[in-house]
Amino acid sequence: MMAGVGGGNDFQWCFSQVKGAIDEDVAEADIISTVEFNYSGELLATGDKGGRVVIFQREQESKNRQVSRGEYNVYSTFQSHEPEFDYLKSLEIEEKINKIRWLPQQNAAHFLLSANDKTIKLWKISERDKRAEGYNLKDEDGRLRDPFRITTLRVPVLMPMDLMVEASPRRIFANAHTYHINSISVNSDYETYLSADDLRINLWHLEITDRSFNIVDIKPANMEELTEVITAAECHPHQCNVFVYSSSKGTIRLCDMRAAALCDRHSKFFEEPEDPSSRSFFSEIISSISDVKFSHSGRYMMTRDYLSVKVWDLNMENRPVETYQVHEYLRSKLCSLYENDCIFDKFECCWNGSDSAIMTGSYNNFFRMFDRNTRRDITLEASRENSKPRAMLKPRKVCTGGKRKKDEISVDSLDFNKKILHTAWHPKENVIAVAATNNLYIFQDKMN
């Protein structure tokens, strides 16, 4: 996957676009909190801390305009969630969008689920490019006509109009989560979806908003006995009865909804034995899983903890089949990262369409890609300095000790405020979206 080497799975990533303000002063509300391609990759949605959703649509590629090779432009922007106040608990509920998940497209409209800490909403995004003219009972400006003056009847005709994209909330799934929602996942039956908070997972039907089934509940009778929380959950891509959830202890449980109504007892339990030599004050924190994703094939799953990404074969529970170190040089800095709270950062991870490569973020606006076949990895940077159209990204390297070579950056020079927590890979092509604080970078493979 090294730049400059062609063939096979080697990618040559080039800058394509960057969205967002250039200002040094970043408004907190503009910080991107989730990124998600839809099933076809035609649409790319982002959610931010201000509760807004911005959807980009890929331009149709035309042979004449070779410059814009399928660029993403703003398609729709809407306010998904507003800040709320829970009067019972005297708590403010943040409007930050934690997750967006698309539904597969079944008609002309697009549907997505967006979730903040407490509420999930189903949004319909539809296009309107025609409007009816020639109503009988009202004027063109909408005023009602005097019925006594109507002497003839006419059939309204549909006239073209400027394209308008409307987003409307079709369902609101509320009041089902006591704790903060960390995941939503659409089931492969396209009828149900699950939502997970720190202690519970609920199963919803997309049409029913006033009730959900609680399928996992790890809340102890005595909260003083709490030792772990749910950190992420996902439905299997093909088996609608299977889902997984990860924990703060670094374990993953696979559950089969056919086994019991309440899936507290797992079908499979994935855990890697801890290396006692690497034990420290912060072992608990860095082993907490921040993201879990099934491969497209459904045979593997990937987990992200603070320092590494692990690929698990669903048929092998006692250890991952692959482990990739994201930024091992931070292991000696954990105390400092604890002080500045960076150790609690929740990085996500994603697969490419063919499951041959995985990607995850790091600090200093670096993001990492791992080729599962060649076992090669690359570090790239999302930066406006490399933002000339189609400019090839240069691999970056962090100097871990000794003499720093040219173009290397030392660990102590890394900017820990510039973190890439959210990345997404186009489901079919080598196009990636990388969220760097309030900016969204889109990169494409040169061969694309």
Q: How far is the CB of 252 from other proteins (least distance, A)?
A: 16
How many helices (H) and strands (E) the chain has is answered by: 2, 32
Q: How far is the CB of 427 from other proteins (least distance, A)?
A: 30
Q: How far is the CB of 110 from other proteins (least distance, A)?
A: 28
- Interface with other proteins (CB under 8 A), residue from 12, 248, 303, 360: 248
Q: Which residues inside 148-177 make contact with other proteins, applying CB under 8 A?
A: 175-177
Q: Which of 252, 213, 214 is nearest to 233 (CA)?
A: 252
Nearest to other proteins of 92, 166 (CB atom): 92
Q: How far is CA 188 from CA 85, 141, 226, 371, in A?
A: 34, 46, 32, 27
251 part of the interface to other proteins, by CB under 8 A? no
Q: Which residues inside 267-286 make contact with other proteins, applying CB under 8 A?
A: 281-282, 284-285
Q: How far is the CB of 294 from other proteins (least distance, A)?
A: 22
Q: Which residues inside 295-334 make contact with other proteins, applying CB under 8 A?
A: 333
Stretch that binds other proteins, among 74-82, 221-229, 255-263, 313-321 (CB under 8 A): 221-229
Would you say 369 and 376 are in contact if contact means Cβ atoms under 8 Å apart? Answer: no
Q: How far is the CB of 383 from other proteins (least distance, A)?
A: 17
Q: How far is the CB of 88 from other proteins (least distance, A)?
A: 9
- Interface with other proteins (CB under 8 A), residue from 14, 414, 433, 434: 414
Tell me which H or E stretch contains 99. strand 99-102
- Interface with other proteins (CB under 8 A), residue from 212, 295, 362, 439: 212
Sign of torsion, CA 126 194 252 188? negative
Q: Which amino acid is at 443?
A: F
Q: Which amino acid is at 367?
A: F
Q: Which amino acid is at 230?
A: I
- Return d(Cα 214, Cα 233) in angstroms, integer: 14
Tell me which H or E stretch contains 283. helix 283-287
Largest CA distance in the chain: 92
- Return d(Cα 349, Cα 424) in angstroms, integer: 8
Q: In the complex, which residues of this chain contact other proteins (CB under 8 A)?
A: 86, 89-94, 96, 117, 175-180, 182, 198-200, 202, 210-212, 214, 219, 223-229, 231, 248, 281-282, 284-285, 288, 333, 335-342, 344, 412-417
